[in-house]
Each structure stands twice: as C-alpha cells, then as structure tokens.
Copies of this chain bind each other. A is one copy, B any other.
C-alpha cells in the first residue's frame, strides 16, 4: 500500500485489477464473472448485495442470531423490502426447518455465515438449498469466514456472497470483496426501478471492472494494491491449508481458554475457530481486563456486543494473526491480567 500511485485508468493498474478479480474468484470458489471489490468496508458489501437485488415491496427473509443479522434486516428494510425475520437465540445457528414457512414469495433469503458478534457458524448449504427450492436468491455474509473456514460459493448455491478485507484476508479495512451469480445478475437486469444507490449500482460498477473500463468512480488504488498482495498470500498458502490452520489453532486456543475457566458462548459444534466469544471466569469485568490487555501488552481483543456486553471477550485469530506464537503471547498476557 506504500507503493507510488498509478492512475485508476492506467493500463498497469487495470491489469492488476484483473488479477484481483481472478484471485477473488478462486478465494470465493466461484466461476461468477461478476466478482470484484466494492469501494467501502464490509458493511458497504452488505448494502451492495441487498440494494441491487431488492426493490420496494420485495419480500426478504433474513436470518438473525446476532448483530450482523440485525444489520442485514435493517439494510433490507431501507431498500423498501418487506422483511420477514427468522430469529434464533444468539450463539446458535438458525435451523433450516424454521426458514421454510417464511419462504413463500420471497425474492431473497439472507443470512450471516460467521456471526462476528457471537462466534457462531451458520451452516450455509441447508439454508441455501431450501431457499433456492422456493425460488429465492441466496445472500450470504462471509465477512468473517472468507479465507478462514470453507466458503464454497458455487457448490453451496449462493447467489451473492460478500466479505471484508480486514478479517481472514489480513488486509487493512476498506474494501468489500463481492460476487454475484449469473442468476443474480439476471434478476438485477430485470429490475423495474433503478438501484437506489448510484455508488453501489453493480451494473455500473461492472462496466468499470469489466472489459469496457467505463469510468464510474475513482478506485481506491492503494487499498486494491493491498488486497492484491493479501489474496496472493492466501492463494500461495492454499485455501485448504489455510482453513486447516485456522481449525487446528482455533482448537488449541479453545482448549487453553477452557483450562483457564473461560466459557465459550457459541453452541458446541457451531463454534468458529477464528472468532471465539468467551465469557470471563468468575464473572470478572470483561471491559476493564480488556483495557488492561491493551495497555500492558498491546494486545487487543473485542468487547462483548448485545447480551454479551461487559461479560465477554471476542478473540480474533484470523489470517496472519492465527499463529502459535500469537496464541502463546495472548495466553501469557491473559494469565497476567487474570492474576
């Protein structure tokens, strides 16, 4: 990202963008032509997914079991959609059977793969399969999952999948990788009304990212150089190797936290290795100790959100930070602050 800038229509920059698209396809496990990076953070990816698919009056079924599911519902409502919320308790996945009664007439079924607020993994394929059977487009938030645990966009039948750069891709925040299936692209082409966001209108964006190279907005050049390098490192390691690394080291961390008396919040069997939401032993003050970790050891863990506020930490073990020595350093620091 410290490289000198190139113009956003410079041939050298454009060929770098082609490589980014190609590497994103491999990372998302998709053949989708319409694969690129939105010029905003993960939440801009969420908005881009929903704002392009939904028109006023459309029905969107949204699975909610944490902050980011809530956000999807809110964004869908702001698109003028009728939102049917299917809620599960925080820390548990949404059971596929509970989705079915809500799918009639739905244009979109949207849910979060890896809920960052709870450390819970939502199995994608069963929900996606039911949604597609009912004729809905499947929108999946893979902000915290992409390049950390398996994401199989095409094999799972996902129509729109988006992520962020600052989680398991280990790139600074600022871009939202996104991919649209041909079915989604057709649905967007058949809209009755213009997409309410000009900035996020995928039909305009793909004219820049595609071979036409029609100017839309100035691309965030340095961010894209950072993403290019991040994706190169992901694919150099190999997705399967990277998934296995997160799985293995996540288990190591979980075991050690358990021994220290921490309690995992997410339901057993649905825990994310790369984001562990844990209640502190003995009802200790989570925020005070979190601050102490930062001040004394320069280690940052996330605070609890919603029902977890003040009582839990969310520990990220993502991408470059998912290494033995980082875990050891963290555990030593935790032992110190717990006293």
CB < 8 Å neighbour of A300 from B7, B194, B215, B216? B7
Rounded to whole angstroms, the CA-CA distance of A223 and B164 in the bound complex is: 15
Q: Which residue of B lies closest to A80 (CB)?
A: B196
Query: Is A79 engaged at the interface, CB distance under 8 Å to the other chain?
Result: yes
Indicate if the CB atoms of A199 and B5 lie closer than 8 Å. Answer: no
Q: Which residues of A contact B (CB under 8 A)?
A: 1-2, 5, 7-11, 39-44, 46-47, 51, 71, 74-75, 77-80, 164, 166, 172-174, 194-199, 215-223, 226, 294, 300, 303, 305
Indicate if the CB atoms of A217 and B7 lie closer than 8 Å. Answer: no
Rounded to whole angstroms, the CA-CA distance of A172 and B5 in the bound complex is: 7
Indicate if the CB atoms of B43 and A40 lie closer than 8 Å. Answer: no
**How many subunits of this chain does the assembly comprise?**
2
List the 10 shortest-distance A-B pairs measured between CB atoms, nearest first. A174-B220, A2-B2, A43-B217, A172-B222, A173-B218, A7-B300, A47-B199, A40-B40, A75-B198, A41-B217
Rounded to whole angstroms, the CA-CA distance of A33 and B252 in the bound complex is: 47
User: Main secondary structure on chain A at its contact with chain B?
Assistant: loop
Indicate if the CB atoms of A196 and B79 lie closer than 8 Å. Answer: yes
User: For residue A77, which residues in chain B have a CB less than 8 angstroms away from its CB?
Assistant: 194
Indicate if the CB atoms of A1 and B222 lie closer than 8 Å. Answer: yes
User: For residue A197, which residues in chain B have a CB less than 8 angstroms away from its CB?
Assistant: 47, 51, 78, 196-197
CB < 8 Å neighbour of A8 from B9, B173, B195? B173
Rounded to whole angstroms, the CA-CA distance of A44 and B220 in the bound complex is: 12
Indicate if the CB atoms of A218 and B166 lie closer than 8 Å. Answer: yes
Indicate if the CB atoms of A42 and B222 lie closer than 8 Å. Answer: no
User: For residue A80, which residues in chain B have a CB less than 8 angstroms away from its CB?
Assistant: 196
CB < 8 Å neighbour of A1 from B2, B43, B198? B2
User: For residue A40, which residues in chain B have a CB less than 8 angstroms away from its CB?
Assistant: 39-40, 44, 199
CB distance from A52 to the nearest CB of B (A): 12
Indicate if the CB atoms of A220 and B172 lie closer than 8 Å. Answer: yes
A5, A216, A218 — most chain B CB neighbours (10 Å): A218
